[in-house]
Amino acid sequence: MEKIVVVGCGSWGTALALTLARKKCYEIHMWEHKKEVAEELQRTRENKLLKGVTLPENIYITSDKENLLKDAKAVIFSIPSQALRSVVSVFADQLRSDLVIVNTGKGLEISSEMRLSEVIKDEILGKYHKNIVVLSGPTHAEEVANDLPTTIVASGQLEKAKIIQEIFNSQKFRVYVNEDMIGVELGGAVKNCIALGAGIADGLKFGDNTKAALITRGIREMIRFGEACGANPKTFNGLSGIGDLIVTCASKHSRNRHVGEKLGQGKTLKEILEEMEMVAEGVPTVKAVHKKAEKLNVSMPITEAVYKILYEDKKATEMVEYLMSRELKEEF
């Protein structure tokens, strides 16, 4: 069997490992940086973040990084955005010209405002950068882990993206390809900012009209920001744009919507994050996107409002008033 390495044993990394394992033609090696966690996963065959799902025998969990990527066809990084750089550095010397490098995280690095593929490229000093592929789309780990029908986009140099398409595609996990890596990555990042806003609206007990407005105007922000960064605007009409935005704004599984809802109910960000087991990527991403949008002079009023609630202690009701009383204009 061909060897695939998944770096990161969170819910998404585990769900992707399960997807590959079910094809029964791969040997999946998962890396967890905490030795005790890796040993527990290997022993119990269950990730507590995905309760009720058993890890099959062709998944192996380890905390040993030595020669981990040897003979592997692909390495999949499933790491929170702000930790990606440090984790990639651990494995940089094991990368090869024939190894496809896949990133599945969604966000921007706050310190550099880089997309995550750029972070990887920067950390490996540009070596093998043409081997980098991004996986993104409307894909909640809980549903993928339970083998529910899902679609996703592989983006990068077409030859490499098609390799990942073939590796992951199955009857329950359909993979498309798109060469616009900038658009695919920015769609996955910005949708988390808008989802926080949708959650805030839920917390304030607003209705479906509000949610529809946030999603629709959120798409406009995504397109404006994407175009300013060099993306193809058509990309945002696809799975990694409006598709991911819809599921993240509406789903009970969405961590970002959950954080927003609690903010709308009056909880502080500190209180919310202390109660959570998993990372809500929108929280750091809002800061990075807001910072970059200001530099590019891109109008993103929803993202700006969410930023002010998160980082300037503005009240949610005050920001709703700000959004609804802005200068009147044409829709497009």
Helices (runs of H) and strands (runs of E) counted in the chain: 14, 8
Per-residue burial over 122-150, b if 16 or more Cβ lie within 10 Å, else e, is ebbeeebbebbbbbbbbbbbbbbbebeeb
pLDDT at 252: 87
Query: What is the C-alpha to C-alpha distance for residues 61 and 28, in angstroms, rounded to an integer?
Result: 9
**pLDDT of 45:** 96
Q: Report pLDDT for 126.
A: 83
What pTM value is reported for the model?
A: 0.95
Measured distance CA(264)–CA(196) in Å, rounded = 10
Rg (CA), the chain: 19
Average pLDDT by stretches of 10, the chain with 332 residues: 96 98 96 96 95 95 96 97 96 96 97 96 92 97 97 98 98 98 98 96 96 96 98 97 96 91 93 84 94 97 97 94 94 90
Other beta carbons within 10 Å of 295 = 9
Which residues of the chain does CATH 1.10.1040.10 include?
182-324
CA distance 117 to 53: 30
Q: What is the CATH number of domain 2-179?
A: 3.40.50.720
Element (H, E) at 176: strand 173-178
Q: Of 76, 71, 99, whose CA–CA distance to 88 is shortest? A: 76
Query: How much of the chain is in helix, strand and coil states, percent to nearest 5?
Result: 55, 15, 30
Active site residues: 191
- Fold classification of 182-324 is N-(1-d-carboxylethyl)-l-norvaline Dehydrogenase; domain 2 (1.10.1040)
The pLDDT of residue 289 is 97
Nearest-angstrom CA–CA distance, 39 and 63: 8
Helix/strand/coil for 254: coil
Please list the residue range(s) of the chain that carry CATH number 3.40.50.720. 2-179
